[in-house]
A and B are shown apart, each in its own frame.
Chain A
Amino acid sequence: MTALHAETLAELAGRLARGDCSSVELTRHFLSRIAAHDAGLNCFISVLEARALAQAEAADRRRARGEAGPLSGLPIAHKDIFCARDTRTTCGSRMLEGFVSPYDAAVVERLDAAGVVTLGKTNMDEFAMGSSNETSYFGPVRNPWDPARVPGGSSGGSAAAVAAGLAPAATGTDTGGSIRQPAALTGLTGLKPTYGRVSRWGMVAFASSLDQAGTLTRSAEDAALLLAAIAGADRRDSTSVEAAVPDYREALDAEPGRLRIGVPRGFFDEGLEAGVAVAVREALGEYERQGAALVEVDLPNLQLSVPTYYVVAPAEASSNLSRFDGVRFGHRCEAPQDLLDLYERSRGEGFGAEVKRRIMTGTYVLSAGYYDAYYLKAQQVRQLITADFARAFERVDLLMGPTTPTPAFELGAKTADPVQMYLNDIYTIGVNLAGLPGISIPCGEVAGLPVGLQIIAPHFGEAALLGAAHRYQRATDWHRRLPAAYA
């Protein structure tokens, strides 16, 4: 029998259904894992022990009455960007250190309604701005595969918590790679759905035309289970899409016919570390053995995705984060001289260095005289990048390549130069600009560190994406490996 913390949600759901264990026992197991291991990893900003046990007791009562659903009683963790009523939501920032959510995010509300137990709220880069979880006001998160290395970001706490078996699954958000990149660096399955597939209501806004909620799990099957619960339109988020939600669980076993897989040439350029390239090529070989055809494709504007993103995302962030004014909620400076001093010092003290850089970049590119040269230009290039993907999908069903250019890097390795940190997201950012769904699944190791395979589908192609990931995971066991210190 494998340890409970090494099992998938689907396996744990089977235990609950058979009566092998109760939700309270499962919840206590993960709470004790958190108590034993989190000090060394710093995955959690808040652990919600009392709330979790109350939810678990309620789930056990519902099961006893024969009212259990597929997710009833399963514990997970939420990224601390999702509001959960009457609990602290910090977004990794001093600005929101004392903020208590007055309402639930749609993602939290839907998972609560499905009977899921919330173990706690996970650490993250401040306001989701970062690729290493080093910008959090609450300190960096460490990678369970090597504590000298980062877990990726911005959903780094969620990724490290699942990788170390402190939670069987967690939510995340992905604006430029913030689910897929940490999933790749910690050996997990990280799903970023189509823009608008999941409601953004109650999710602290960073860049509203790019932000999307998703999941970090041990398997594609688990991602399908959670996506089924969180997907769907919500009148409170006018960008959530009114498209039917397919049965993702059932779609896992659908036979796709002869799959055409596009391999973007630009994903294998000189920036890609050799060991990562080898692991990804081997994974593509597995798909060929399963009968897929590999087709080389071009995304000619791929290298422009990082500069485009670093205009669009900061511009939207500078606008979204203007709500933090020291008046209605959030940090307020001591003894303000006047209103301007109140705004400037509250924001200057409440935000960390990276958030300030992004706000200032956004302010600059939107300012009089620069708007056309930067913001308008970036929106035009965004159109070109999106058109590249659309052209590729005329010829292929899915795109595949690496999620990141390298495995996990060491803490501090890229903090001195923000541009080096930004370039780490070269393979993931285009997917956000085009609003496409993407997933990262573990496909190998380099020197004991996990490597991620990224799969990209056309808009609303989550079922095909999850199916392809599931077929790979049926044939391989990379997704079942745990870091030795947490096995």
Chain B
Amino acid sequence: MSLTNDQVRAIARLARLSLDEGEVAEVADKLANILGMVGQLQATDTTGVAAMAHPLDAVQRLRADEVSETDHREHYQRNAPLTEDGLYLVPRVVE
């Protein structure tokens, strides 16, 4: 298993992670090792085996669709990097 630097840049872009150019080759190496190790799974015969999503085969519990929480916006926004008038600020998206 090997990964090109371009493949690593593409994965990082999908994951929304900046990588320094100097890091790319090392990341490629280590990711390739990890993917090589998990590649062992390919040799296992899983014909007819159902995929397992939950250790107890539980199903999602449902609740009535009613208001159960009170408004904590102001409290929660204390952790926000940048807000104004109760809104989260980000760089302009629409000109």
Question: Which residues from chain A sit less than 8 Å from chain B, CB to CB?
Answer: 98-100, 102, 194-196, 209, 235, 238-239, 241, 301, 304, 306-308, 310-311, 318, 322, 325-332, 336-345, 347-349, 351, 356-357, 359-365, 367, 373-374, 376-384, 386, 417-419, 422, 433-436, 459
CA distance A308 to B40 in the complex (A): 9
Q: How far is the CB of A388 from chain B (nearest CB, A)?
A: 12
Alpha-carbon distance between A344 and B16 when the two chains are bound, in angstroms: 5
Q: Do B46 and A307 touch (CB < 8 A)?
A: no
Closest Cβ–Cβ distance, residue A342 to chain B (whole Å) = 6
> Quick check: A357 and B17 within 8 Å, CB to CB?
no
Closest 9 CB pairs of A and B: A435-B55, A348-B18, A332-B81, A379-B51, A329-B79, A380-B46, A383-B52, A344-B18, A363-B15
Cβ contacts B54-85/A at 8 Å (1 or 0 each):
11101011010000000010011011111000
When A100-B79, A209-B53, A380-B46 are in contact, do A311 and B38 touch as well, CB less than 8 Å?
A: yes
Shortest distance in angstroms between B56's beta carbon and chain A's nearest beta carbon?
6
Roughly how many angstroms separate A359 CA and B51 CA in the complex, as a whole number? 22
Contact A381 B41 (CB under 8 A): yes
Q: Is the CB of B75 within 8 A of A102?
A: yes
B8 to A, closest residue via Cβ: A360
Main secondary structure of the interface of A (DSSP, over half): helix
**Majority secondary structure, B binding face:** loop
B41 x A422 contact (CB < 8 A): no
> Which residues in B have some Cβ–Cβ distance to A below 8 Å?
8, 11-19, 27, 30-31, 33-35, 37-42, 44, 46, 49-56, 58, 60-61, 63, 72, 75-76, 78-82, 88, 90-91, 93
List of A residues within 8 angstroms of B78 by Cβ: 100, 102
Q: How far is the CB of A25 from chain B (nearest CB, A)?
A: 35
Pick from B31, B33, B44: contact of A381, CB below 8 A. B44
Among B56, B61, B93, find the residue whose CB has the most chain A CB atoms closer than 10 A.
B56
Contacts A102-B72, A361-B35, A381-B46: A308 and B16 contacting too (C-beta < 8 A)? no
| A214 CB → nearest B CB, Å | 15
Q: What chain B residues lie within 8 Å of A102 (beta carbons)?
A: 72, 75-76, 78-79
Chain B residue contacts of A310, Cβ below 8 A: 34, 37-38
Is A357 within 8 A of B42, CB to CB?
no
For the complex formed, measure the closest distance between the CB of A175 and the CB atoms of chain B, giving whole angstroms.
12
Whether B11 pairs with A435 at a CB distance below 8 angstroms is no
Task: Give 8 A-B pairs besides A347-B17, A378-B38, A419-B37 with Cβ atoms closer than 8 angstroms.
Answer: A102-B79, A239-B58, A307-B39, A308-B41, A360-B27, A361-B35, A362-B15, A373-B42
Contact A357 B81 (CB under 8 A): no
B71 to chain A, nearest CB (A): 12
Q: Is the CB of A327 within 8 A of B37?
A: no
Which partner residue on chain B sits nearest A417 by CB separation? Answer: B33
> Which of chain A's residues have a CB closer than 8 A to the CB of B35?
361, 364
Check A380 against B31 for contact (C-beta < 8 Å). no
Q: Which residues of B contact A378 (CB under 8 A)?
A: 38, 41
Q: With a CB–CB cut-off of 8 A, which chain A residues contact B27?
A: 356-357, 360
Chain A residues with CB under 8 Å of B93's CB are 338-339
Q: Is the CB of A341 within 8 A of B91?
A: yes
Query: In the complex, are the beta carbons of B15 and A360 less than 8 A apart?
Result: yes
Do A434 and B55 touch across chains, with their CB atoms under 8 A apart? yes
Q: Are A306 and B56 in contact (CB under 8 A)?
A: no
User: A175–B78 Cα gap in the complex (Å)?
Assistant: 30
Q: How far is the CA of A338 from the CA of B90 in the complex (A)?
A: 8
Contact assessment for A361 and B53 in the assembled complex, using a CB-CB cutoff below 8 Å: no
Residue of B nearest to A359 (CB): B15
Q: Are B15 and A384 in contact (CB under 8 A)?
A: no
Whole-angstrom distance between the alpha carbons of A369 and B80 in the complex?
36
A386 in contact with B31 (CB, 8 Å): no
In-complex Cβ contact of A380 among B8, B40, B49, B58 (8 A): B49
Inter-subunit contact A379/B53 (CB<8 Å): yes
Chain B residue at minimal CB-CB distance from A209: B54
Whole-angstrom distance between the Cβ of A167 and the nearest chain B Cβ:
27
Bound CA–CA A118/B39 (angstroms): 44
Closest to A309 in B: B38
